[in-house]
Structure formats: structure tokens, C-alpha cells
């Protein structure tokens, strides 16, 4: 939308005021005589030609649809009674499936018709895709006739050959004929049907099928009048009809209009018809459609009602009426007969139908309330002077007016009586359309004495404000007025309005100009002022609300040297040195977030520039730059990181686009920020470095980045290590990488020191395979490596647990929480038969290929085994772990060449395989009478006899006597 921001932006609205109000109000409306109108009762009379200003220029006489050469015979005063008819007792026949017709095909056949009889609606209710509104079928009625009232019919081109005499003989005494539709269709059979009805003595009239979304109500009213919709008080011309009902064409049931738009359209049509014909039109509709599409408006009670309702069985009334009507004038009760077209009944006798058509017309009744309130108002306002007109009614919403020398008193039941007088406020009201506009009727007197010589007057729809400097402008009730009121009305920072409110903007928005600038409103953004000056100029250059910035979403925040204002699509920033620049959504959100965090980004100094690699954009600010790409998003860069990134080659260099915001300390002395190809970091103690993207930066950030276990990087990444490995030094250690283990930390401390002594990644442990994990029993820590695990506690120091059987046995014993505790040595190998061992706080793990890895957790047993010569002694390697829980708290452990039994009372004793052990076992081991051994087995030098003592006795053996037991 292009427009300048001066007073010329004010909407130029077509004048719809009555001719009396278009003239000088000081002189009064200038009408004399009594006004006439039509209500729903049988007292229809003509009203004065209260034409609009536009209609004065080219008055439209009421047409005479019938040819001048034909003068039908007058209707008899008392027509013959219609013959009794016997309607069929069956329900309406099923309507066969019909081809969905286009609008052009429908118009060729006769267009839309009353009651939605067209196939497009009857057989295809879902015209309005996505509409939540419904279309009520009116084609399921029975065929019967009411027993009271005057019968009649309505027809269109869809009934090309009406037997008018036959319809008269069946009892029809009035007829309505379709004359027009929208501003694009006229019934080519109208004249013949209209005159045919009259020729047999029927009272007849014309109806117009409304298509509200195609043109204004006034335009369709003029089209209707020009094509048969006129009226004259000749006694046989019924008042014109507005057929307003379900949409037969594209769009939803309500023609894609809101209830407020629909009621405004109907008022526009009705008031134009009143001006052109002197009569308000009859409204034809259904209660269902009226409820949906006007929100059951009660504002049209002064219009006659023609209600459509099709009961399946005889009924005495059409049922529930739309709001505002307590009765109806005509009831369309069937589209299936007995008459051609639709069948109708007049709610009254034939005499009242004749009065409705215009004979014996009675004057409009001036409501007693109007007379009382206008007289009371005039009495309390002597400055009005003498009367210039009688009270004249028939205005919108049943209103009236009376002219005085000093102005015109306007009245409606809702607004009471107030005067409008010559001057800029009344001139603005008339330009809007007077009482038929959004302003409606006045609800207060004109009040002056405001700031700078201003005046205002309240109306039903808002206020008209005037000052010598700004002229008069209408401020309607709503969010813009509420926001202006919150600022202090004309005394606030916005000042007086300088234009009327203009709506219909993008997203249903509105704007209104004030002295301070332009106020914009939408449902999502609210009402906000864009101040005149550089911010408004920048927004205008961007395309106002239709540009990328959209609607303002906050008021501007300004100092003496800068301003910022938020919009739905971005921000405008202004400084006295760099001017005003838009910052669009994306970069704008990043800018707002950076400023909220206290980053020294400053205000924009140039417009966004695009066309970078990968569809990227950037924008320069006082303290830095914001980079955007579709793949990475928008992020700000400032200070050392911005300089470092620029030196690396900008977005095309070794870092690429930023992928995250900078994370900095309070005074920007330490920061880190991620990029496509790495993360840049620096601190007061470290130079700026890059942690490469991939495993290295992932590991660093998982450890807490600069605030984590490693701290800031102190070197670049160095590669070329064993097996394709890399490392990078940090303030608190190093990151080690290998394809097999990934990137893992090596933190300063005893575990790293131990690993270093082992030869770093070139030693037996290889690369670290996990982080250092602490919090173990005894405040211990461990770290896994490709070749094993380093365990540390303050008491045991750091020791490696190489992968293999020894480590597995330690794991099976419960790690450091088990019976062995932390290792106290490294694994030692090279023992007899390929054996190995490792010492622990609470024992030893012994291993040989033949015996496997066994824990030695019992100190007495281990000590006794040591006296035998360890694995090289008489017992050899252990073949089991120590097993305790025996009688009297005893334990035992098996070895390759025997067993060691222990109890507190007997000590640790060796049981060698042979006759003595077998005899002891046969007597129940330690649970037998002999209990635990108290010595080892002793033999003679020739090995021909041996003995061993036990708690309960002695076992002896000799080669000659065999085994003998002696109990104590």
C-alpha cells in the first residue's frame, strides 16, 4: 500500500447523508409535510424523497414495469374466494441428483431464486469449502395451504410459462417477480411476468436477489430500481423486496462476510431504496440464515419481514422469527405447490394487503418518545432557535430529526436527542455518511474549549475531534481510540487525530494519523504509534505494514540521540549519527537478544546486505555485525571474535558462519562462540584459539566449554600422532583424539601424570577412552584407556588395570568397592608357567593360563601360601578364591597341589592331597569330629609314614598300617 504520511492519507469516504443533512444544517433540513414509511403491519404509505446527495444529481424516477399501452382492469374490492384445493398428502418428492452448475450456467437458466430452489444449492450444500456455516434445506416441505390470510406466489425465469389465470383460479391474489440479481443480471421475462400477474387482477411487486460480496448495497439498490424495482402508490404495486439468503455461488453461506459487514450492507441497500422509492424494502430471509449471517440482528424491525419456513405438515405460523420482529408480513410456506414457483400467504386480509401496496396510505407514525425527547432537548437548548421543519422519521434504526434555525436535532431510541450544528465536526460527520455511517447518531452535544481551540462531539460509534490546526476527524470506538485515550486524548503525546481511521489493511488492520505520527493496529500486534520522523520515514520506505517489517508491535523507546521500535517483522533502530535502519526478523530477533544480554552490539548503521554464500546476509551495527544463513540462523559477533573471524576469511574462511551466540563474561574479557568449522575462545590468560568442529569441540562443550573441566584452549589442534590421533592443550589439561576412542580429556592430575609416565598414547594404555570419573569410594577416580583403566585414590595412588583376566577377576570381585579395593601395583607378569599377579589394598589376584585369575583376599591364607614359596612352592597357583563362612568363621582356598584351611583358633594350615586328606574328608571335613587342622602334614624322610594334627585328634598313615585316626 503506497501512501504519504500527511493529511492526504485520510480516507475519502462517499457521502451518504440525507439531502436535508447535506444542506446547511443551520437552515434545517428544509422538508415540510409528513413523512411516510412501511412497517410490518398493513399500513404502508410512501415516505418523502429523502434521497442521498448522490441521488440528487441524477434522480431516478420509479419505473413503470408494465407497458403504457396496457391498462389492466382494477382489482375488485372484494375478490371472489379462491376455490378450495386438496393438496396431495405425500411428502415432497426426492430431488434427483443434479450436475453442479457454474455461476454462468445458473445465470443463463435464471440465476438464483427464492428459497434456494436452484440445483447448485439443493444438491451441493458444501459450496463454501472450509466454512463452519451451514445451509438449511428448504425443500423437504409438504404440499398444503394455510387456512387464513391472502395467498400468493413468487416466480422468476425458472418458471418461464406461468398460467396466471390458472393461478388466480387456485386462489392467488398477489405475486412477486424476480427483477434482478447483484449488478450483473436482469430477468428477461420480468416485464411479461410482472404484467401477466397484473392482467388477471393480482397485486404484484418485484424482488432483487442480493449478492452482497459482489458490490455495495447502494449499487445493487440502484440497479434494482433501474430494472423494475421501483414503487408507486398506485394501489397495485407491492413494495420492493430484498431477497437476502444462502449464497448459491462460491464462498461460504454468508458470502464470506462478517455479521457486522452484512448488517452494514443491508442498511446501505435499505436506506438507498428509501431514498430512491420512498419505501423501505421488504426483507426476505430465513431465521436460520439471519441468525448465522447477521448474528440475529434486531436492527431492522422497521422493515417488513417476508419469512421462509416450510413445515412438513399444516401449521398456523412459520415458527421462530428473527430478532427484532414480533410478526411477519408474508410467509413463504412451500416451494412444492400449490402455486407455480413458491407459495406464500399474506398475514392479514385483502384490505390490509391493498394498504400495504399503497392505497389508503397512512402517515409514518412519529414515536411518542421521539416527540417528547426532541421537544425536551429543544426546550433546554434555546440557542437552537425556531423550528424549521416538523419531526421527520424513517431514518436508519427508526430514527428521526427536526430542523431548527441553529441546527438539527437527531434522535433514535438508542441515542436519545442531540443536536448537530454547522461547523467542521458536523461537516466531517456528513462526509462519513451521517447517521448511516459508522459514526451513527450523536450521543452528546458539541463540546469546545479543548487544547489549542479544539472541539469534540460523541457519536454512537466514536468521537469526532476538531482543532483549527488539524481539522475534524472521526476516532471510532476500538483499540486505536483506547490506546489514544491511554495517552491522554488530545492532551497526550499523540495530540489530535489528523485523519479518519482507515481499515481493511493487511491482516484486517487499521491506521489513523495523529499529530505525532501514524497509529497502526492489528489483532496480533495491538495499537501502536509510529512517530513522525526518521523511524516513520524508514518504515514508510520499507512499505508500511505491507513491507517486511509489518505492523508496529511496541511503542518506540527513545533517548535524545537514539530510538528503537519493534515491529512484527523486525525492528527499526535510529541514531543521530547513522540514521534509521530496519533490522528484519531473524537478524532483528538476534539483535534484540544481544542487547538484552548486554552485548556491545549497538544500533544499526546500515541496511541488511544479502547475497553471501549459501543465501547468507549480514548487517553492520555500531559495535559489531550480525551474520545469517538459512542453515545456521542469525548470530551477533563483536570485539576480538569478530576481528579474528574477519582475519580468518569471513564466512568463506576457515570458520564459516557463526552457529551460536557468544558466551562472554561480564566485561567481555573472556568469550567463546561457535562457528560452522569450530569454536573460537579466549580469556585474559589465554590467546584466542579455535577448537575444531567435530569430536574435539563436542567433547570440550560436553565438559562445560570454557567454564568446564578443561577451561580455555591454550594451543591449536596438533595432529599426526599414533593411529591418526590429534591433541589440543587447554588450561586444565588436554583433549586427546583417536579414530578408535574419539575425543577424550586428559585432565591435569595424578591419572594424567601416571599416563604420561607410561608414555602417553604410545604406552601400553594407549589413548584415553573416557573422561576422568571421580566420586568413587575413598574419594577415588578412574579413567578408561584403550589398553585398560587407571584407578586412583589418595591412599593407593594411581595404577593401571590392564585389560585381561586379572582385571576381569577384580571386576567380578566388585571393583574398588569389592573385597580387594584399589590396586596398589601394576600387573606383573613373567611368573612360572606364564603367570601374572597384581596387588590390591586387600589382597592379590594371581593368574596362570592353567588356573585362571583367582583372588587372594584372605591375609592368613595368603601369608601361609607365601611361606610355601608362592606359585613356585609346594602348592602352586590358587585354583579358587578364598571361600569363607565355614564352621567357626573359617575359610579355605584351593591350590594346584593342595588346600589351605584357616580358622581363628587353628590358624592357616596346608592340606596336601593324599590318604590323610581323604580320611579327614571322609569324616566330614571341618564339620567332623576332627574339625580344623592345627598343623601341616609331616612325614618321615623315607615318606613311608605321615601324620597331621587336628583340633579333635590326629590322623596317621603308614605304608604298612594305612590310615588311623586317634581322637583326643
Q: Which of 252-261, 345-354, 716-725, 758-767 has the lowest average pLDDT?
A: 345-354
Give mean pLDDT, residues 291-320.
89
* Each residue's pLDDT tens digit, 398-426: 888 888 888 999 999 999 999 999 899 99
Rg (CA), the chain: 52
Q: What is the mean pLDDT of residues 665-687?
A: 91
Mean pLDDT for the stretch of residues 515-526: 95
Average pLDDT over residues 758-764: 95
* Element containing residue 276 per DSSP (H, E): helix 259-277
Contact by Cβ (8 Å): 565, 557: yes
What is the reported pTM? Answer: 0.49
Place 143 in a pLDDT band, splitting at 50, 70 and 90: low
The predicted structure's pLDDT at residue 833: 96
pLDDT of residue 27: 31
**Mean pLDDT, range 361-379, rounded to an integer:** 80
Residues 29 and 425: their CA atoms lie apart, in Å, by 17
Query: For 613-635, what is the mean pLDDT?
Result: 94
Name the band, by pLDDT with cuts 50, 70 and 90, for residue 92.
very low
Question: What cell numbers appear for 637 in the block?
Answer: 559477533
Residue 322 pLDDT: 94
Question: Over 60: is that where the pLDDT of 96 sits?
Answer: no
Residue 360 has pLDDT above 70, yes or no: no
Residue 203 has pLDDT above 90, yes or no: yes
Q: Which of 8-12, 209-213, 340-344 has the lowest mean pLDDT?
A: 8-12
The residue-averaged pLDDT of 504-532 equals 94
Please give the residue that has the higher pLDDT: either 849 or 312.
Answer: 849
Catalytic residues: 154, 243, 245
User: Residue 753, preceding bond cis, omega within 30 degrees?
Assistant: no
Burial class (CB in 10 A: 0-12, 13-18, 19+), 154: buried
Closest CA to 358 of 141, 153, 203: 203
Average pLDDT score, the chain: 85
Task: Determine the pLDDT at residue 348.
Answer: 83
Question: CA-CA distances (angstroms) from residue 546 to 707, 755, 858?
Answer: 46, 66, 87
Residue 476, SS3?
Answer: strand
Q: What is the pLDDT of residue 23?
A: 32
What does the pLDDT read at residue 433?
A: 79
Q: What long-range pairs does 447-450 form, CB within 8 A, spacing at least 24?
A: 450/490
Could you identify the residue written with the cell 580468518? 648
Q: Which grid coordinates are listed for 375?
A: 421537544
**Cα pseudo-dihedral 693, 695, 697, 703, rounded to 10:** 170
Q: What is the DSSP secondary structure assignment for residue 570, as one 8-state letter? A: E
Q: How confident is the model at residue 102 (pLDDT cuts 50, 70, 90)?
A: confident
Mind listing the pLDDT tens digit for each residue in 149-176? 899 999 999 999 999 999 999 999 999 9
For residue 116, the model assigns a pLDDT of: 59
**pLDDT reading at 67 higher than 50:** no
Rounded to an integer, the average pLDDT of 705-724 is: 95
- The lowest-confidence range among 74-88, 586-600, 772-786 is 74-88
Sequence-distant (≥ 6) Cβ neighbours of residue 22 within 8 angstroms? 15, 52, 53, 56, 430
Does 57 have pLDDT greater than 50? no
pLDDT tens string 842-863: 999 999 999 999 999 999 999 9
Bridge partner residues of 411 (DSSP): 400, 417
Evaluate if residue 547 carries a pLDDT over 70.
yes
The predicted structure's pLDDT at residue 234 = 76
pLDDT tens readout for residues 273-305: 998 988 899 999 999 999 999 999 998 988 999
Q: What are phi and psi of 118, to 5 degrees?
A: -70, 145
pLDDT value at residue 110: 76
pLDDT band at 432 (very low <50, low <70, confident <90, very high): confident
> At residue 663, does pLDDT exceed 70?
yes
Q: How far is CA 425 from CA 139, 485, 815, 906, in A?
A: 52, 19, 94, 121
Higher per-residue confidence, 354 vs 673: 673
Q: For residue 73, what pLDDT is reported?
A: 30
User: In this predicted structure, what is the pLDDT of residue 100?
Assistant: 55
pLDDT at 770 over 90: yes
Residues 6+ apart with CB under 8 A from 921: none
> What pLDDT score was predicted for residue 64?
28
> What are the sequence ranges of the domains in the chain?
110-119+135-357, 677-748
The neighbouring-strand residues paired with 174 are: 152, 203
What pLDDT, on the 0 to 100 scale, is given for residue 287?
94
Q: What is the pLDDT of residue 365?
A: 65
The DSSP line for 421-475 is -SSHHHHHHHHHTGGGSTT-SB-S--EEEEGGGEEEEEETTEEEEEETTTEEEEE
Check residue 148 and give its pLDDT.
Answer: 83
Mean pLDDT over 745-752 rounds to 96
Whether residue 627 contacts residue 657, with contact meaning beta carbons closer than 8 Å, is answered with: yes
pLDDT > 60? residue 230: yes
**CATH number of the structural domain 110-119+135-357:** 3.20.20.80
| pLDDT for the residue numbered 70 | 28
* pLDDT: which is higher, 104 or 188: 188
Residue-wise pLDDT tens digits, 871-894 = 999 999 999 999 999 999 999 999
| pLDDT higher than threshold 70 for residue 710 | yes
Phi, psi dihedrals of residue 629, rounded to the nearest 5°: -145, 155
Residue-level pLDDT at 272: 93
Query: pLDDT per residue over 438-469, tens digit each?
Result: 999 999 999 999 999 999 999 999 999 999 99
pLDDT at residue 358 in the model: 76
How many Å apart are CA 853 and CA 835, to the nearest integer? 9
Amino acid at each position: 500500500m503506497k501512501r504519504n504520511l500527511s493529511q492526504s492519507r485520510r480516507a475519502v469516504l462517499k457521502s451518504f447523508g440525507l439531502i436535508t443533512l447535506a444542506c446547511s444544517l443551520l437552515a434545517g433540513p428544509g422538508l415540510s409535510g409528513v413523512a411516510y414509511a412501511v412497517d410490518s403491519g398493513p399500513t404502508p404509505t410512501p415516505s418523502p424523497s429523502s434521497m442521498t446527495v448522490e441521488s440528487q444529481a441524477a434522480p431516478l424516477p420509479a419505473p413503470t414495469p408494465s407497458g403504457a399501452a396496457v391498462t389492466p382492469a382494477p382489482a375488485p374490492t372484494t375478490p371472489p374466494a379462491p376455490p378450495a384445493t386438496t393438496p396431495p398428502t405425500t411428502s415432497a418428492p426426492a430431488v434427483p441428483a443434479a450436475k453442479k452448475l457454474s455461476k454462468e450456467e445458473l445465470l443463463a437458466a435464471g440465476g438464483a431464486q427464492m428459497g434456494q430452489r436452484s440445483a447448485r444449492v439443493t444438491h451441493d450444500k458444501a459450496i463454501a469449502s472450509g466454512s463452519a456455516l451451514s445451509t438449511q434445506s428448504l425443500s423437504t416441505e409438504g404440499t398444503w395451504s394455510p387456512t387464513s390470510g391472502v395467498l400468493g406466489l413468487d416466480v422468476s425465469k425458472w418458471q418461464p410459462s406461468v398460467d396466471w389465470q390458472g393461478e388466480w383460479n387456485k386462489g392467488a391474489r398477489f405475486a412477486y417477480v424476480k427483477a434482478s440479481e447483484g449488478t450483473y443480471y436482469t430477468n428477461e421475462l420480468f416485464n411479461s411476468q410482472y404484467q401477466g400477474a397484473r392482467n388477471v387482477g393480482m397485486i404484484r411487486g418485484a424482488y432483487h436477489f442480493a449478492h452482497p460480496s459482489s458490490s455495495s448495497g447502494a449499487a445493487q439498490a440502484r440497479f434494482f430500481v433501474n430494472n423494475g424495482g421501483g414503487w408507486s402508490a398506485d394501489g397495485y404495486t407491492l413494495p420492493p423486496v430484498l431477497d437476502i439468503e444462502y449464497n448459491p455461488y462460491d464462498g461460504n453461506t454468508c458470502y464470506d462476510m462478517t455479521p457486522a459487514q452484512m448488517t452494514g450492507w443491508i442498511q446501505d441497500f435499505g436506506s438507498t431504496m428509501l431514498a430512491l422509492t420512498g419505501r423501505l424494502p421488504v426483507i426476505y430471509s430465513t431465521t436460520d440464515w439471519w441468525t448465522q449471517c447477521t448474528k440475529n440482528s434486531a436492527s431492522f424491525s422497521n422493515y417488513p419481514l417476508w419469512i421462509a419456513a416450510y413445515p412438513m405438515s399444516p401449521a398456523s405460523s412459520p415458527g421462530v422469527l428473527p430478532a427484532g420482529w414480533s410478526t411477519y408480513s408474508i410467509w413463504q410456506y412451500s416451494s412444492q405447490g400449490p402455486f407455480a414457483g413458491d407459495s406464500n400467504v399474506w398475514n392479514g386480509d385483502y384490505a390490509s394487503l391493498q394498504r400495504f401496496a399503497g392505497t389508503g396510505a397512512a402517515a409514518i407514525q412519529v414515536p411518542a418518545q421521539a416527540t417528547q425527547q426532541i421537544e425536551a432537548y429543544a426546550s433546554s437548548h434555546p440557542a437552537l432557535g425556531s423550528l424549521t421543519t416538523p419531526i421527520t422519521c424513517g431514518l436508519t434504526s427508526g430514527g428521526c430529526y427536526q430542523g431548527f434555525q441553529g441546527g438539527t436535532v437527531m434522535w433514535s431510541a438508542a441515542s436519545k436527542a442531540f443536536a448537530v450544528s454547522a461547523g467542521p465536526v458536523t461537516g466531517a460527520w456528513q462526509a462519513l455518511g451521517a447517521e448511516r455511517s459508522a459514526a451513527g447518531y450523536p450521543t452528546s452535544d458539541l463540546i469546545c474549549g479543548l487544547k489549542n481551540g479544539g472541539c469534540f462531539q460523541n457519536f454512537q460509534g466514536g468521537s469526532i475531534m476538531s482543532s483549527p490546526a488539524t481539522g475534524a476527524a472521526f476516532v471510532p470506538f476500538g483499540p486505536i481510540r483506547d490506546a489514544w485515550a491511554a495517552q491522554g486524548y488530545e492532551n497526550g503525546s499523540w495530540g489530535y487525530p489528523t485523519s479518519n481511521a482507515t481499515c481493511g489493511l493487511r491482516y484486517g488492520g487499521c491506521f489513523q494519523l495523529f499529530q505525532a505520527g501514524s497509529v497502526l493496529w492489528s489483532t496480533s500486534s495491538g495499537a501502536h504509534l509510529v512517530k513522525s520522523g526518521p523511524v516513520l520515514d524508514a518504515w514508510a520506505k520499507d512499505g508500511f505494514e505491507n513491507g517486511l517489517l509489518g505492523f508496529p508491535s511496541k511503542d518506540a523507546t527513545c533517548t535524545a540521540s537514539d530510538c528503537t521500535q519493534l515491529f512484527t517483522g523486525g525492528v527499526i533502530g535510529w541514531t543521530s549519527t547513522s540514521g534509521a535502519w530496519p533490522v528484519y526478523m531473524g537478524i532483528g530477533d538476534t539483535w534484540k537478544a544481544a542487547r538484552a544480554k548486554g552485548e556491545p552490539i549497538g544500533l544499526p548503521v546500515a541496511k541488511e546486505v544479502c547475497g553471501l554464500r549459501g543465501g547468507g546476509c549480514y548487517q553492520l551495527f555500531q559495535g559489531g555485525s550480525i551474520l545469517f544463513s538459512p542453515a545456521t540462523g542469525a548470530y551477533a559477533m563483536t570485539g576480538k571474535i569478530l576481528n579474528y573471524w574477519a582475519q580468518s576469511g569471513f564466512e568463506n574462511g576457515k570458520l564459516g558462519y557463526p552457529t551460536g551466540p557468544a558466551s562472554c563474561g561480564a566485561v567481555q574479557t573472556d568469550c567463546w562462540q561457535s562457528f560452522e568449522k569450530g569454536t573460537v575462545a579466549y580469556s585474559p590468560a589465554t590467546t584466542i584459539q579455535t577448537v575444531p568442529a567435530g569430536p574435539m569441540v563436542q567433547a570440550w562443550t560436553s565438559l562445560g566449554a570454557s567454564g568446564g573441566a578443561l577451561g580455555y584452549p591454550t594451543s591449536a589442534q596438533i595432529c599426526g600422532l599414533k593411529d591418526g590421533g590429534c591433541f589440543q592443550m587447554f588450561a586444565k589439561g588436554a583433549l586427546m583424539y583417536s579414530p578408535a576412542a574419539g575425543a577424550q580429556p586428559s585432565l591435569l592430575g595424578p591419572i594424567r601424570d601416571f599416563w604420561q609416565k607410561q608414555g602417553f598414547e604410545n604406552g601400553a594404555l594407549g589413548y584415553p577412552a573416557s573422561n576422568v570419573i571421580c566420586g568413587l569410594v575413598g574419594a577415588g577416580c578412574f579413567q578408561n584407556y584403550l589398553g585398560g583403566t587407571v584407578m586412583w585414590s589418595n591412599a593407593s595412588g594411581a595404577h593401571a588395570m590392564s585389560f585381561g583376566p586379572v582385571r576381569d577377576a577384580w571386576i567380578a570381585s566388585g571393583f574398588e568397592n569389592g573385597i580387594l579395593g584399589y590396586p596398589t601395583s601394576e600387573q606383573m607378569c613373567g611368573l612360572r608357567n606364564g603367570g601374572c599377579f597384581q596387588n590390591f589394598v586387600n589382597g592379590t589376584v594371581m593368574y596362570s593360563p592353567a588356573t585362571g585369575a583367582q583372588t587372594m583376599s584372605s591375609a592368613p591364607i595368603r601369608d601361609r601360601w607365601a611361606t610355601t614359596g608362592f606359585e613356585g612352592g609346594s602348592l602352586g597357583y590358587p585354583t579358587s578364591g578364598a571361600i569363607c563362612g565355614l564352621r567357626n568363621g573359617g575359610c579355605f582356598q584351593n591350590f594346584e597341589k593342595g588346600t589351605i584351611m584357616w580358622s581363628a583358633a587353628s590358624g592357616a594350615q596346608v592340606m596336601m592331597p593324599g590318604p590323610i586328606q581323604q580320611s579327614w574328608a571322609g569324616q566330614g571335613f571341618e564339620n567332623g569330629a576332627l574339625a580344623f587342622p592345627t598343623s601341616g602334614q609331616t612325614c618321615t624322610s623315607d615318606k613311608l609314614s605321615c601324620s597331621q594334627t587336628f583340633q579333635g585328634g590326629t590322623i596317621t598313615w603308614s605304608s604298612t598300617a594305612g590310615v588311623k585316626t586317634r581322637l583326643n
